[in-house]
C-alpha cells in the first residue's frame, strides 16, 4: 500500500498542484508536504486518513463516469458541430436498447431537438464501478451555432433504466475583439492612466468622482487622446486601513458608490430634505474638511454620501416606486437584468450593516451559510434596504453608461476598466459563492527582485475543479460585469488564468505553491465576452511567466503589458529600442505599484523602503541605489540614441534632475514603439513623487489614499499636456 505522503502527492497532482518552481533569481523551490496538504484541505477534500485520500482519488477518477455528462464544454466556433462525451451505466447485452434524446437551448429560450440510437453511436471506453458497467460514448450536434452560451439537455433511455443530464455549452470566437480602426487600419492610440479616487478638484467631496472623469474625458479628446484607463472601480467597504485597496474589493461584480457625484443626481435635487441637510453648517464644514485633507478619508466620504443617498432613495421610492413611473420601470429592467447576483450583493450589504461587521464569517450562524428558506425570509424582511443598495448600483450603472456613450462619439476605446485578480475573503463574492473559493489560502507571488520575500495579496483563490463543475458561472459574471460599458479592459495578473500562487494562511510566501487553472477555457470565455461587449483586452502579463503563455495571449489578440522599466536587452540591462516592442501591446513607464517617473529618478522608492525597514541588509539597499544610477544613465543613452534629447543634453549622459522636458522625452520614446496603445501616467506628467501603492506595506505608508498634488482645474489648463498631445500627433498616434 502507498504511504500517506505518496497518496498526498498523487491527489495533489490530480488537483493541479505544481510540485516545484523557479523564482526570479533562478532559485528552485519544492512544495512541502504541509503546503500540499493545506492546499488540498482548502479545496474541500477529506484527507485525514489514507482511506479518505484514496476515496478522493477514486472520486476524481470516477466523477466523469458517474456524472452522465461533463458539466461544461468550451469550444471554438470553428470546431463545430461540437462533440461531447456521455457516460451511462449499461450492461453489454442491453446496448442496443440505448436511445439518447437531446435538446439544445440558447440564451433566449430557442431550442432544437435531435436523438441517437445505438446504431449511430460508438463505444469509446468502458469501466466497472461498484460492480456496474459504465460505457463512454459521444454525441454530436446537428448544427453550426453562433458564439454564445447554450444548455444541452440529454435523456438516456435503455432497458437498464433512464438517466438525464445537462451541460453548459460555451461557443467562443478564437480571438478577442480589437476595434477595426486599430486592427485593419493599424491606427496607434494613446491615453492617460489615472487613479480616479485620487483626483483632486475644487468641487468633488474629497475624492475623484464620475463628474471629474467626464471632465477628463472631454479634455483628453481635445488633446487628441483616445482613452482613459482607471483603477478598478469594484465595491469596497471603504474602511481603514485594509479595505480601501481597489485591488482587494468586497465584490468584483459591483462598484464603489464613492465615485457618484451626489449633487448631480436627479433624486437629490428633487429632495427638499437633502437640500436642507446639505445647507446645514456642520455638513458644509465636513465637506470643506474632506476637500482640504492631504489624504483621502474614505470612511467619512462614504458616510456623507450614503446619508444623502438615503434621502434621494426616499424621494425615488415615494415618487416613482409607488406611482410606477417610467423611471421606476427603468430601474425594474435593471433589476431583472442583474438578477440574483445583485440581490445577493445587496443582501450582503444589508447584513453587513445589521451585524456592523464586513466579515461574514463573524456573523451569526444563520447568516453565514444561507438555506433557501432563510434566504427568502431575509429578502422579504429587508426588501426596502435591499432595494436601496440596488438603487445605488443602478445610479452607478447609469453614470458609467452615460460616460461610455459620450466616449463613442470621439474614440474607439474611451474607457479602459481594470479587473482585480481577486476579492477579499470577508466580502460578498466569497460569501455568496463560498463553494468555489479556497478558504484558508491567500493568493500571492514568489520572491522576485522587487519583493525578495515574495508577496501575500490577502485574498482567496477560486478552486479550479469546482469552478469548472459550476459551469464557470462566477467567472463569467465577473468578466461580463466588468466589461459592461468598457471600451477596453485591463486584466490584472492575467498569468493567474494559467496558474496562481497559493499560500496557506499563516505561512510565508516562500512556502506557497502554484496551482494550475483551465486556462484555455477561461481565456476563451474572456474572448467571447470581449467580442459580445466590443471590448479590447489588455492582459497584464508581468511576473514569472510560464512556457507558451505569452504566445497564447498574443494568439488570442490579448494585448501584452509592457513597462519601460522592465523592457531590457537581458542579460544586458540596457533598454530595448522602440522598434523592439511588440505591436499587440500596451506600453507604459510605470504602474501604481512602481515608482512614478519623478520618484524613479529621485530613487524615492528605494529611500522609502530603506526608511520603512524593508531592506534587511544594507548591501541590498546600496545595490539598488547603484543600479538606479546605472539605469538613469542607460535611459539617457537610449533617448540620445533615438535623437530625442535636445542638443543641450547631448553628450551629458549622466543623471540629471527629472524635468517636464525629460519626462515628455521618455514618453516620446514610447510613442515611437509599434505598440497599439501607449498609456501615460497622470502622476508622471504632473510630477508626483510618491507612488500610489507600496506593495507589502499598509499601516506605515498611505497606500491608495494620496490625492493628486495638482488640482484638476489646473491640470486641464496646463501646457505640458498640450505638448504631450503634440508628441503623439507627430508620432502618428
In tens, the pLDDT along 249-276 reads: 999 999 999 999 999 999 999 999 889 8
Please check the confidence at residue 655 and state whether its pLDDT lies above 70.
no
The pLDDT value recorded for residue 550 is: 92
- Strand, helix or coil for residue 691: coil
Please check the confidence at residue 563 and state whether its pLDDT lies above 70.
yes
The pLDDT value recorded for residue 448 is: 72
Strand residue runs (E) in 199-313: 227-230, 234-235, 251-255
- The arithmetic mean of pLDDT across residues 708-718, rounded, is 94
Question: Residue 679 burial (CB < 10 Å; 0-12/13-18/19+)?
Answer: buried
**Do the Cβ atoms of 442 and 505 come closer than 8 Å?**
yes
Question: Residue 616 burial (CB < 10 Å; 0-12/13-18/19+)?
Answer: exposed
- The arithmetic mean of pLDDT across residues 449-474, rounded, is 89
Nearest to 254 by CA among 452, 402, 391: 391
**pLDDT category of residue 453 using cuts at 50, 70 and 90:** confident
Strand order from edge to edge, sheet including 132-140: 83-89, 132-140, 125-129
Question: What mean pLDDT value characterizes the chain?
Answer: 93
Write the CA distances from 712 to 295, 546, 671, 705, integer angstroms.
Answer: 16, 42, 25, 17
Q: Which CATH number fits domain 78-172: 2.60.40, 3.40.50, 1.10.730, 2.60.120?
A: 2.60.40
| Residue 154: strand pairing partners | 102, 165
**pLDDT category of residue 192 using cuts at 50, 70 and 90:** very high
pLDDT, tens digit (0-9, with 9 covering 90-100), for 83-141: 999 999 988 888 889 999 999 999 999 999 999 999 999 999 999 999 999 999 999 99
The pLDDT value recorded for residue 331 is: 96
Nearest to 471 by CA among 66, 70, 40: 70
**Do the Cβ atoms of 663 and 685 come closer than 8 Å?**
yes
End-to-end CA distance of the chain: 67
The pLDDT value recorded for residue 712 is: 97
| Residue 255: strand pairing partners | 234
**pLDDT category of residue 650 using cuts at 50, 70 and 90:** low
For the ranges 403-407, 521-525, 636-640, the lowest mean pLDDT is seen at 636-640
**Do the Cβ atoms of 298 and 244 come closer than 8 Å?**
yes
Rounded CA separation 568/576 (Å): 5
The two domains 78-172 and 188-419+554-730 share their CATH topology (first three levels equal): no
Q: Is the dihedral of CA 168, 40, 427, 200 positive or negative?
A: negative
For the ranges 223-237, 451-465, 628-642, 677-691, the lowest mean pLDDT is seen at 451-465
Which ranges of 602-659 would DSSP assign to H, the alpha helix? 604-611, 618-641
Element holding 423 (H helix, E strand) = none
User: Residue 295: phi, psi to the nearest 5?
Assistant: -115, 155
The pLDDT value recorded for residue 652 is: 57
Please check the confidence at residue 336 and state whether its pLDDT lies above 80.
yes
**Do the Cβ atoms of 147 and 526 come closer than 8 Å?**
no
138-159 burial: b if 16+ Cβ within 10 Å, else e: ebebeeebebebbebbbbbbbe
CB atoms under 10 Å from CB of 242, counted, come to 15
Query: What 3 state SS string does 535-571 have?
Result: CEEEECCCCCCCCCHHHHHHHCCCEEEEEHHHCECCC
- Strand, helix or coil for residue 701: coil
Write the CA distances from 686 to 179, 590, 678, 682, 690, integer angstroms.
Answer: 31, 14, 17, 6, 12
For the ranges 39-53, 291-305, 648-662, the lowest mean pLDDT is seen at 648-662
Q: Which residues contact 61 (CB under 8 A, 6 or more apart)?
A: none
**pLDDT category of residue 371 using cuts at 50, 70 and 90:** confident
Please check the confidence at residue 649 and state whether its pLDDT lies above 80.
no
**pLDDT category of residue 648 using cuts at 50, 70 and 90:** low
- Strand, helix or coil for residue 246: coil
- The arithmetic mean of pLDDT across residues 608-623, rounded, is 90
Strand order from edge to edge, sheet including 455-456: 455-456, 441-445, 499-504, 513-516
| Local structure of residue 460 (DSSP, 8 states) | P
pLDDT, tens digit (0-9, with 9 covering 90-100), for 353-365: 998 888 899 998 8
Write the CA distances from 330 to 50, 335, 337, 395, integer angstroms.
Answer: 58, 9, 11, 11
Please check the confidence at residue 1 and state whether its pLDDT lies above 80.
no
Strand residue runs (E) in 437-547: 441-445, 455-456, 488-491, 499-504, 513-516, 536-539
Nearest to 315 by CA among 272, 285, 283, 280: 272
Highest-scoring range by mean pLDDT, 26-30, 377-381, 577-581: 577-581
Domain ranges of the chain: 4-60, 78-172, 188-419+554-730
- Report residue 615 as a C-alpha cell: 531592506
The pLDDT value recorded for residue 651 is: 55
Rounded to two decimals, what is the model's pTM?
0.96
Q: What class has domain 188-419+554-730?
A: alpha beta
For cell 542579460, the residue is: 571
- The arithmetic mean of pLDDT across residues 236-243, rounded, is 90
Write the CA distances from 94 to 1, 177, 389, integer angstroms.
Answer: 37, 49, 57
Nearest to 715 by CA among 198, 188, 190, 189: 198
Above pLDDT 70, what percent of the chain? 98
Nearest to 563 by CA among 459, 643, 450, 453: 450
**Do the Cβ atoms of 103 and 113 come closer than 8 Å?**
yes
Rounded CA separation 656/329 (Å): 61
Above pLDDT 90, what percent of the chain? 82
Q: What is the DSSP string of 631-642?
A: HHHHHHHHHHHT
**Do the Cβ atoms of 540 and 601 come closer than 8 Å?**
no
Nearest to 239 by CA among 369, 361, 353, 347: 353
Amino acid at each position: 500500500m502507498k504511504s500517506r505522503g505518496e497518496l498526498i502527492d498523487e491527489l495533489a497532482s490530480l488537483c493541479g498542484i505544481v510540485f516545484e518552481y523557479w523564482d526570479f533569481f533562478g532559485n528552485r523551490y519544492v512544495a512541502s508536504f504541509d503546503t500540499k496538504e493545506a492546499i488540498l484541505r482548502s479545496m474541500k477534500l477529506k484527507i485525514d486518513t489514507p482511506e479518505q485520500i484514496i476515496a478522493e482519488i477514486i472520486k476524481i477518477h470516477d466523477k466523469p463516469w458517474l456524472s452522465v455528462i461533463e458539466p461544461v464544454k468550451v469550444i471554438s466556433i470553428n470546431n463545430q458541430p461540437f462533440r461531447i462525451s456521455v457516460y451511462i451505466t449499461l450492461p453489454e447485452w442491453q446496448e442496443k436498447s440505448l436511445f439518447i434524446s437531446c435538446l439544445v437551448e440558447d440564451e433566449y429560450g430557442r431550442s432544437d431537438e435531435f436523438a441517437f440510437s445505438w446504431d449511430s453511436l460508438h463505444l469509446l471506453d468502458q469501466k466497472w464501478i461498484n460492480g456496474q458497467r459504465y460505457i463512454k460514448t459521444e454525441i454530436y450536434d446537428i448544427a453550426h451555432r453562433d458564439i454564445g452560451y447554450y444548455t444541452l439537455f440529454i435523456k438516456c433511455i435503455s432497458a437498464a433504466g433512464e438517466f438525464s443530464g445537462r451541460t453548459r455549452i460555451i461557443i467562443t470566437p478564437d480571438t478577442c475583439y480589437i476595434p477595426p480602426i486599430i486592427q485593419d487600419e493599424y491606427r496607434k492610440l494613446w491615453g492617460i492612466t489615472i487613479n480616479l479616487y485620487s483626483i483632486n478638484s475644487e468641487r468633488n467631496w474629497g475624492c475623484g468622482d464620475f463628474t471629474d472623469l467626464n471632465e477628463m474625458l472631454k479634455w483628453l479628446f481635445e488633446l487628441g487622446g483616445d482613452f482613459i484607463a482607471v483603477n478598478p472601480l469594484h465595491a469596497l467597504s471603504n474602511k481603514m486601513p485594509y479595505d480601501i485597496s481597489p485591488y482587494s474589493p468586497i465584490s468584483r461584480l459591483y462598484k464603489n458608490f464613492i465615485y457618484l457625484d451626489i449633487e448631480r443626481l436627479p433624486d437629490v435635487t428633487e429632495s427638499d430634505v437633502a437640500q436642507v441637510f446639505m445647507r446645514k453648517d456642520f455638513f458644509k464644514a465636513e465637506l470643506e474638511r474632506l476637500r482640504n485633507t492631504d489624504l483621502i478619508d474614505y470612511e467619512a466620504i462614504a458616510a456623507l454620501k450614503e446619508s444623502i443617498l438615503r434621502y434621494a432613495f426616499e424621494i425615488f421610492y415615494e415618487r416613482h416606486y409607488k406611482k410606477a413611473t417610467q423611471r421606476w420601470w427603468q430601474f425594474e429592467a435593471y433589476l431583472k437584468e442583474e438578477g440574483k447576483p445583485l440581490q445577493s450583493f445587496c443582501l450582503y450589504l444589508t447584513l453587513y450593516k445589521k451585524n456592523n461587521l464586513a466579515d461574514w464569517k463573524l456573523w451569526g450562524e444563520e447568516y453565514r451559510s444561507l438555506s433557501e428558506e432563510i434566504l427568502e425570509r431575509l429578502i422579504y424582511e429587508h426588501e426596502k434596504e435591499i432595494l436601496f443598495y440596488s438603487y445605488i448600483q443602478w445610479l452607478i450603472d447609469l453614470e458609467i453608461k452615460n460616460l461610455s456613450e459620450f466616449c463613442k462619439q470621439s474614440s474607439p476605446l474611451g474607457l479602459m476598466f481594470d479587473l482585480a485578480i481577486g476579492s477579499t475573503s470577508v466580502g460578498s463574492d466569497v460569501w455568496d459563492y463560498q463553494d468555489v473559493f479556497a478558504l484558508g489560502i491567500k493568493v500571492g507571488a514568489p520572491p522576485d527582485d522587487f519583493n525578495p520575500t515574495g508577496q501575500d495579496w490577502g485574498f482567496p483563490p477560486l478552486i479550479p475543479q469546482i469552478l469548472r463543475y459550476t459551469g464557470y458561472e462566477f467567472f463569467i459574471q465577473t468578466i461580463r460585469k466588468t466589461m459592461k460599458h468598457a471600451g477596453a479592459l485591463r486584466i490584472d495578473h492575467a498569468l493567474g488564468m494559467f496558474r496562481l500562487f497559493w499560500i496557506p494562511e499563516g505561512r510565508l510566501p516562500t512556502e506557497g505553491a502554484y496551482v494550475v487553472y483551465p486556462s484555455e477555457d477561461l481565456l476563451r470565455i474572456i474572448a467571447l465576452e470581449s467580442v459580445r461587449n466590443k471590448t479590447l483586452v489588455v492582459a497584464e502579463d508581468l511576473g514569472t511567466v510560464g512556457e507558451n503563455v505569452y504566445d497564447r495571449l498574443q494568439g488570442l489578440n490579448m494585448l501584452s503589458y509592457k513597462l519601460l522599466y522592465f523592457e531590457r536587452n537581458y542579460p544586458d540591462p540596457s533598454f530595448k529600442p522602440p522598434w523592439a516592442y511588440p505591436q499587440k501591446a500596451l506600453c507604459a513607464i510605470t504602474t501604481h505599484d512602481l515608482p512614478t517617473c519623478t520618484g524613479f529618478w529621485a530613487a524615492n522608492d528605494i529611500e522609502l523602503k530603506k526608511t520603512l525597514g524593508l531592506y534587511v541588509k544594507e548591501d541590498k539597499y546600496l545595490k539598488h541605489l547603484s543600479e538606479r544610477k546605472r539605469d538613469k544613465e542607460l535611459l539617457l543613452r537610449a533617448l540620445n540614441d533615438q535623437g530625442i534629447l535636445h542638443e543641450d543634453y547631448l553628450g551629458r549622459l549622466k543623471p540629471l534632475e527629472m524635468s517636464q522636458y525629460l519626462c515628455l522625452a521618455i514618453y516620446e520614446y514610447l510613442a515611437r514603439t509599434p505598440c497599439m496603445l501607449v498609456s501615460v501616467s497622470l502622476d508622471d506628467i504632473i510630477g508626483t513623487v510618491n507612488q500610489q501603492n507600496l506593495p507589502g506595506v499598509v499601516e506605515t505608508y498611505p497606500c491608495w489614499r494620496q490625492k493628486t498634488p495638482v488640482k484638476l482645474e489646473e491640470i486641464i489648463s496646463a501646457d505640458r499636456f498640450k505638448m504631450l498631445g503634440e508628441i503623439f500627433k507627430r508620432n502618428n498616434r
